[in-house]
Structure 1
Amino acid sequence: MQRLEVLDGLRGYFLVFMVLNHLTFSGGYLLVKLNHGELGYVQDAPGFVFLSGLLMGQVYGARMKKHGYKAGASKIYHRVFELYRYTAGCLLAIIALGFLLTESSVYWEPWLWQLARNDWGFALAAAALLYQPTYMDILPQYIVYLALSPPLVWLCVTGRWRKVVIGSWMLWLGVQFGIHLPLASAIDAVMGALYPGLVLRAHFNVLAWQIVFVGGLVLGCLASTGQLNWQRVFDPTRRGLVEASLCIVLFFMIWRLGMTWELFPEAMQARLRTLEIRAEFSMMFLLNFAALSYLVAWLIIGGVRSDSPLARQAGEGLRALFTLPFLRLIGRHSLQVYAWHVLVIYLLKAVDYHQGPFNELTKTAIAASAVASLAIPALLKEHRAAAAAVIAEP
């Protein structure tokens, strides 16, 4: 299947802003404020997870339809083991750096907790994906989704995608009502009994965030098997959903800016904070994400064919942005680039601790260099692939 360049570019875009959002300096830095996340409740992680599900549905849905369930499932499980190797390798690299860098237990402690003290019990829990250091948590989450996805892909391929959607929605809804809390408490109790102080540590609730991945997976499967036509879904003459999505996006933008600039009374801010549960992907995050995703997709696919000059210009601008060679390069190798970005963020935390504080210009230069460095693992991957292709030639 030919890859869609805009999807690679989108993944690259999210990787760039993950670097900017995860990078920390003493006193903060201004560049991070130039961010779509400041204009609403849509950030990079859900977009990255959604696109991963979408591409997986497209690739493995087509494979299962053509070659059967086992052919597709075996490829998925191979991908699971590959992801685990990168996750474990990233963890081992951070632990090794902790021995080499002076005072790493001080500046990494908020991200690693007891792992910063090189505690073997917590290291084993991290290897089992139960104790996830900060910024390494998307990979374990993705591993879980991939491992459970073969039957879901098969259901979509065989026309039973509605069952997958309903199951995903019910699971997400259950989390919003706390159905997961007894299970989490039981896991904490077992882990604490096995090793003192050990608890389940994961920033993202996999039972809630699965709705993003599964949503992408279902759409990808339907598109790859001919059950969904993107041109019809994003018909430029049908603007009802576009206008509704725009209203929702603007609504959440007003609330987000109001909270940032403290324009609302404290009672309203307190109410909003109770709804803003990112770890469980609460309703405000889901609605904002769905609306913005539809709006962007419509502009890229339907807007460029619209009779509205503004829609055409917006769609063409987004296409130009998401097809930038740099973004497509790092998006094609998102797994390797994501693991690289974790190491870069941890290393730059050490630099800031030992060499900082820096002025704003230096912080901007460091951030730009960190973003540029994302090309390193992608180029190395493509170089190895090219070398292997030459060797394979007769």
Structure 2
Amino acid sequence: MCGAAALAPGLARAASDLSSDTDVVIVGAGAAGISAAHALAGEGVRHVLIEAGSRVGGRAFTESETFGVPFDHGAHWVQNQERNPYFNRAKASGHRFYKATEAYRIFRDGAEVSEAEAGRLWEVWDEVYGAITEAGKAGEDVSAASVSPSGDEWAQTAWFGIGPWEMGKDLKDFSCADWWNSADSVDWYCAEGYGTLVAEHAAGLTVALETPATRIRWGGQGVEVETPRGTVRAKAVIVTVSTGVLAAEGIVFEPALPVETQEAIHAIPMGDYNHIAVQLSEDIFGMGEDGYLLHHVGEDGEAFGALTNASGTGLAYCDVGGSFARELEEAGEEAAVDFVMGKLRGMLGGDVDRHFVKATATAWTADPLFRGCYASAAPGGYPMREVLRRPVGERVFLAGEACHGDLWATVGGADLSGRDTARAVALAVAG
């Protein structure tokens, strides 16, 4: 199942009778909200799950209408197999699920680099990686840029790979300590799309779609969650929207959240990361399925890294991150596609245009339901992740990838955060 706004079997598009009295309201039907709903159901706790958008899955969204093949608008790499619940779900799904390969082609000035040049890039990459690791391991809550070596002709390329391409942020914008305290992982792919796995996990849940929470009152003994379709009263609320939405005050809290909670929201900001997807009629990259394409990055930092021929579909995910991703998103889809196509022509010549079928670009930062890709601590913000997880008045609970201790920025982390938070809420409302 990979429809653009398709619902997993058993989902209600918009529950027609939003209960005005329940135990728990879950705000957001992404991976965290879905997991929280399953956990509360398992505990026999009455709950209502509301979602501002017209679909489930949040930042994990797969559709086939654009290209005729599964296209992941957001999450694509299935990580952390030992702990990510979606790893076993993918294995049991019947979809093609397989380990990622590590084939690379690297270009500079319109030509593929020599083995020696590629070797130098990986040496510099390891030096930057090692410097951030050393600082993070020592507990230095400073920017990755402040400790990373520079000056080498390949330094900017390594900075791009570790920062914008991996983190969705420039090196100056994330904390070494937070980076160090994230789980290592091996990547796997689901050919039908990560978003498909998440939507299928929502099967059987009742979700009130197109029902945003506009205001949450928590000053009394319980909570009141205002929506355009009425107010839901409950003992507690689990809020799974992104820190970007919270920082932009997409939901009004009355009274305002405690100062330390607000500080934590702003200390764990969203990054910027978009797929500029290009469909080609033939695999002109010559790496088979799921190869990686990288080019030398100059001082301007204007770069993309590509996953080519994803799952053999002919799609190339040409990904941008950090401040340049914001600039391209503001410039619009046409500018984003033009940038990528120009770079590809410079690397691969006329084959790019001969085999071009279609292209599109995502725009996660501008989307008011998300305001970015995934969250990581700003320099100095690492201790605030624990603050973000603290319940407010034993009535307001935040959950999602940003709240997980070391699986942040992952779908698995969001799932586990939703599950664990729901279990804590079940105990709280029972008392």
Same fold per superposition (TM over 0.5): no
Higher relative contact order (CA 8 A, sep 6+): 1
Output the TM-score relative to the length of structure 1.
0.24
Output the TM-score relative to the length of structure 2.
0.23
More strand by share: 2
